[in-house]
A = this chain, B = another copy of it.
Amino acid sequence: MSQPTAASDLQLLDRYWRAANYLSVGQIYLMANPLLREPLQPEHIKPRLLGHWGTTPGLNFIYAHLNRIIRQRDLNLIYICGPGHGGPGMVANTWLEGSYSEIYPHVSQDIDGMQRLFKQFSFPGGIPSHAAPETPGSINEGGELGYSLSHAFGAAFDNPDLIVPCVIGDGEAETGPLASSWHGIKFLNPARDGAVLPILHLNGYKIANPTILGRASDEDLQQLFSGYGYEPLFVSGHEPEQMHQQMAATLERAFDNIAAYQQAARAGGKQEGIPRWPMIVMRSPKGWTGPQEVDGKKVEDFWRAHQVPVAACREDAGHRQILEQWLRSYQPDDLFDEQGRLKPELRALAPQGDKRMGASPHANGGLLRRELNTPDIREFAFDVKAPGSQLAQATEQFGRYLAEIFARNQHNFRLFGPDETASNRLTPVFDVTSRTWLEPMKPYDEQLARDGRVMEILSEHQCQGWLEGYLLTGRHGLFNCYEAFIHIVDSMFNQHAKWLKVTRKLGWRKPVSSLNYLLSSHVWRQDHNGYSHQDPGFMDHVANKKADIVRIYLPPDANTLLWVGDHCLRTWDRINVIVAGKQPSAQWLDMESAIAHCEAGMGEWRWAGTTPQGEEPDVVMACAGDVPTLETLAAVDLLRGYLPDLRIRVVNVVDLMALQTQDQHPHGKSEAEFDALFTLDRPVIFAFHGYPALVHRLTYQRNNHRNFHVRGFNEEGTTTTPFDMTVLNELDRYHLAQEAILRVPGLADRHPELLDDLQERIAEHHRYVREYGEDVPEVRGWKWPSETGDGAPD
């Protein structure tokens, strides 16, 4: 253990802490009289008292001590504030260190600025109550709990000079995502990555309840975190002087150990094992230094301190007096000078420049972001001789491109996934890198390495949280996942979309790379698994977010996937969702056609249709997604055979948002463009990858919407053949052809025998598949008859 810290140092530190606490209380309560230069009056107090006091003094305590360590050791730290509702503390500290006023000059470091600082908090037109994007130094809003430690690890990967202290509240620690995120150290390489210092802040209570870990014994906590692989260090108490002494000594030990582990790992020589990284368990009272009791009820060190501990300060003189005494207990005149500036001896306690945690460029990752070095996608093109004549695995083809991305971007690109990178056929990346693995290895292990950059853990939450932390600190990445199970992170997606929406309006937050999802193993091709693995609804979820943030792509084959993937990886401040199959399937477009098609977002496949240019079709056969495209073309093939004179137009949609109107989404097609493809009045048989309602929702403002007949996933599924899945949901070629015949006026009356024939084919499918366990030869052997087209994509 390090030597005790000098008492004079700790007294200064205590004053700094008091200043932060004073400013925190001031933000929650005051709209005037910020330094209490006059007695507190009702009109000084905000009419609506909003915010959370309980966690804040502990956050301030930790911030002050981290400042000390940064100065002492000249470190790069960012502060992840798990209890983000302790926003007043983060704002107070960045104001004290000056980073706040540099970004928001009107909130100056003087009494006028302090008044604005106080008033703006949780006030209309002001700032939110959480460690939101508006808060300097934050990469974790902490509104929805559970992701702080994942974000911390994401920030530390490939950032060898960064140390990330991460405060985790005992509320957040009860969540599932947080509980698994402790495993992050098993993926943290002390040589190539930075460090994470988790600080579990046990103040004992949630909103109205004790916490599980707060009431656990030190012995159990010692075992729990040792079991996760850490060395737990305890800081516990309520008496400030003694707590300062403990905290200073504990942080010195923690940072000593981190430095030692890193030095050892970076000294060269064979690397083995995982260091016993330190983590801190800090027990301090909820609402520490606040009112002990209000109206005869316990407040400090109890859940009543969670939000606003004394509530009726405008109306009730007694409450107001408690507030005034509380504020004055911090002795503001001992902390701030006449002009409301922090006194010089306290100002000297903050780090300088970019070392201030509110000014770290790592917490404004766009400042550090370098463009991804991307190859020409043409180098990875699949050579399509004629549409539909060859099979390929789209994701495997894309995997070759990703391998090149890995080769060209050694320190700022990672691939994340819940143990599905190989299953999703991105295996070519393993020619270039491996999976990150620091636990013991066996001689027969494959594609594992301590410095691998494919990050696999069976937790979608960790994949998403790590990637978010990685992106928000200025790097690039891709999350590949089974389509159905991406719903596990619906709520994390929400929070990230909200974060991006706000940051786009903040000039000082520089753009970060987009969050890219590649969803494979999709609803139509599950094979080994069944109904539980069939859900295409993530697209619906995504479509609710702001149009300038979200994009959804459904490339039908390998070359279109290459264009889409490459495009997404080069964008910023967006969330891109790509749905693509991993199974061998028909390839439609050569690379130049794919580029033209994807750039347009959607378009007619003239080589597949039968409508002369410039004429109106009898029916539009539209499709989005690989399997719907296959079934649509197979239906067109049937219809061509049945009805050589039927004028069919085939439209394929890659960029789903192109379906919306231009005022709904920036990718939306104009009315004229849309009508030119989908006509004003002809039936549109739309085979869609997802739930049909999504197409209706995106197109309801379109002129021809009343004639859209959408087939998609209708929650009918099980473990069966791929074609049977489409039949169960009536998305198959037979049902699509039936629908076309039924919807073109008069056709069904003239050709009832065609409907009968299709019905018989469906019946034959059912008979055959149940007898033999595979699809009828007519389906298995089907290929697009390219000789009937003009031989090349337009």
Residues in B with CB closer than 8 Å to A460 are 175
Q: Is A97's CB within 8 Å of the partner chain B? A: no
Q: Given A216-B439, A773-B48, is A543 in contact with B693 using a C-beta cutoff of 8 Å?
A: yes
Which of B51, B223, B461, B501 is A176 in contact with, Cβ under 8 Å? B461
Which of B31, B221, B535, B773 is A123 in contact with, Cβ under 8 Å? B773
Q: Is A433's CB within 8 Å of the partner chain B? A: no
Determine whether the beta carbon of A208 is less than 8 Å from that of B484: no
In Å, the complex CA distance between A705 and B696 comes to 12
Residues in B with CB closer than 8 Å to A207 are 419-420, 422-423
Residues in B with CB closer than 8 Å to A773 are 31, 46-48, 119, 123-124
In Å, the complex CA distance between A442 and B501 comes to 44
Which of B141, B183, B458, B705 is A145 in contact with, Cβ under 8 Å? B458
Interface residues of A in 431-490 (CB under 8 A from B): 435, 437, 439-440, 442, 444-445, 448, 456-462, 484-485, 487-488, 490
Residues in B with CB closer than 8 Å to A209 are 419, 435, 448, 456
A179 → B minimal CB distance (Å): 4
Which of B128, B527, B715 is A50 in contact with, Cβ under 8 Å? B527
Determine whether the beta carbon of B212 is less than 8 Å from that of A546: no
In Å, the complex CA distance between A212 and B436 comes to 12
A275 → B minimal CB distance (Å): 14
In Å, the complex CA distance between A178 and B460 comes to 12
Closest chain B residue, CB of each to CB of A437 = B210
A722 → B minimal CB distance (Å): 10
Among A52, A176, A448, A460, find the residue whose CB has the most chain B CB atoms closer than 10 A.
Answer: A176
A428 → B minimal CB distance (Å): 14
In Å, the complex CA distance between A137 and B490 comes to 31
Chain A 128-145, CB-CB to B under 8 Å as 1, else 0, gives 111010000000010111
Q: Is A683's CB within 8 Å of the partner chain B? A: no
Determine whether the beta carbon of A495 is less than 8 Å from that of B537: no
Determine whether the beta carbon of A212 is less than 8 Å from that of B186: yes
In Å, the complex CA distance between A259 and B422 comes to 46
In Å, the complex CA distance between A715 and B504 comes to 14
Chain A 686-706, CB-CB to B under 8 Å as 1, else 0, gives 000001010011001000010
In Å, the complex CA distance between A78 and B212 comes to 28
Determine whether the beta carbon of B532 is less than 8 Å from that of A458: no
Determine whether the beta carbon of A529 is less than 8 Å from that of B130: yes
Residues in B with CB closer than 8 Å to A445 are 210
In Å, the complex CA distance between A500 and B229 comes to 40
Q: Is A224's CB within 8 Å of the partner chain B? A: yes
Determine whether the beta carbon of A176 is less than 8 Å from that of B697: no
In Å, the complex CA distance between A89 and B17 comes to 60
Residues in B with CB closer than 8 Å to A488 are 144, 146, 490-491
Determine whether the beta carbon of A215 is less than 8 Å from that of B422: no
Which of B174, B421, B458 is A183 in contact with, Cβ under 8 Å? B174
In Å, the complex CA distance between A223 and B435 comes to 27
Determine whether the beta carbon of A132 is less than 8 Å from that of B531: yes
Determine whether the beta carbon of B501 is less than 8 Å from that of A721: no
Closest chain B residue, CB of each to CB of A537 = B544
A484 → B minimal CB distance (Å): 7
A132 → B minimal CB distance (Å): 7
Determine whether the beta carbon of B52 is less than 8 Å from that of A528: yes
Q: Is A172's CB within 8 Å of the partner chain B? A: yes
Among A47, A221, A442, A544, find the residue whose CB has the most chain B CB atoms closer than 10 A.
Answer: A544
Determine whether the beta carbon of A494 is less than 8 Å from that of B498: no
Interface residues of A in 503-545 (CB under 8 A from B): 527-533, 535, 537, 540-541, 543-545
Closest chain B residue, CB of each to CB of A223 = B227
Q: Is A236's CB within 8 Å of the partner chain B? A: no
Residues in B with CB closer than 8 Å to A719 are 50, 122-123, 126-130
Determine whether the beta carbon of B532 is less than 8 Å from that of A132: yes
Residues in B with CB closer than 8 Å to A543 are 693
Q: Given A212-B186, A224-B228, A422-B208, is A546 in contact with B715 using a C-beta cutoff of 8 Å?
A: yes
A770 → B minimal CB distance (Å): 4
Chain A 65-107, CB-CB to B under 8 Å as 1, else 0, gives 0000000000000000000110000000000000000000000
Number of interface residues of A (CB under 8 A): 123
In Å, the complex CA distance between A421 and B172 comes to 17
Q: Is A330's CB within 8 Å of the partner chain B? A: no
A585 → B minimal CB distance (Å): 16
Determine whether the beta carbon of B174 is less than 8 Å from that of A532: no
A212 → B minimal CB distance (Å): 5
Closest chain B residue, CB of each to CB of A725 = B124
Determine whether the beta carbon of B544 is less than 8 Å from that of A691: yes
Interface residues of A in 7-66 (CB under 8 A from B): 31, 46-48, 50-52
Q: Is A364's CB within 8 Å of the partner chain B? A: no
Q: Is A502's CB within 8 Å of the partner chain B? A: yes
Residues in B with CB closer than 8 Å to A115 are none
Interface residues of A in 263-319 (CB under 8 A from B): 298, 302, 307
Residues in B with CB closer than 8 Å to A537 are 494, 541, 544
Residues in B with CB closer than 8 Å to A404 are none
Determine whether the beta carbon of A144 is less than 8 Å from that of B532: yes
Q: Given A47-B774, A186-B212, A528-B129, is A490 in contact with B52 using a C-beta cutoff of 8 Å?
A: no
Q: Is A177's CB within 8 Å of the partner chain B? A: yes
Q: Is A116's CB within 8 Å of the partner chain B? A: no
Q: Is A769's CB within 8 Å of the partner chain B? A: yes
Residues in B with CB closer than 8 Å to A487 are 490-491, 494
Residues in B with CB closer than 8 Å to A495 are 532
Q: Is A400's CB within 8 Å of the partner chain B? A: no
In Å, the complex CA distance between A606 and B123 comes to 39
In Å, the complex CA distance between A554 and B365 comes to 42
Determine whether the beta carbon of B718 is less than 8 Å from that of A459: no
Q: Is A206's CB within 8 Å of the partner chain B? A: yes
Q: Is A226's CB within 8 Å of the partner chain B? A: yes
Q: Is A361's CB within 8 Å of the partner chain B? A: no
Which of B146, B176, B223, B224 is A462 in contact with, Cβ under 8 Å? B176
The 8 closest A-B pairs by CB, nearest first: A143-B532, A224-B227, A176-B176, A223-B227, A179-B179, A128-B530, A487-B491, A174-B458
What are 29 A-to-B residue pairs whose CB atoms are below 8 Å? A47-B772, A48-B774, A85-B528, A123-B720, A125-B766, A130-B532, A143-B530, A143-B531, A144-B485, A174-B457, A175-B176, A176-B459, A207-B422, A208-B421, A208-B423, A210-B445, A215-B440, A220-B226, A223-B223, A223-B224, A224-B224, A225-B227, A226-B227, A490-B491, A498-B715, A540-B541, A544-B693, A696-B696, A700-B700
Known A-B contacts: A50-B527, A129-B528. Give 12 more (CB < 8 A): A47-B772, A144-B532, A176-B459, A179-B179, A179-B180, A220-B229, A498-B531, A540-B540, A541-B541, A544-B691, A700-B700, A700-B705
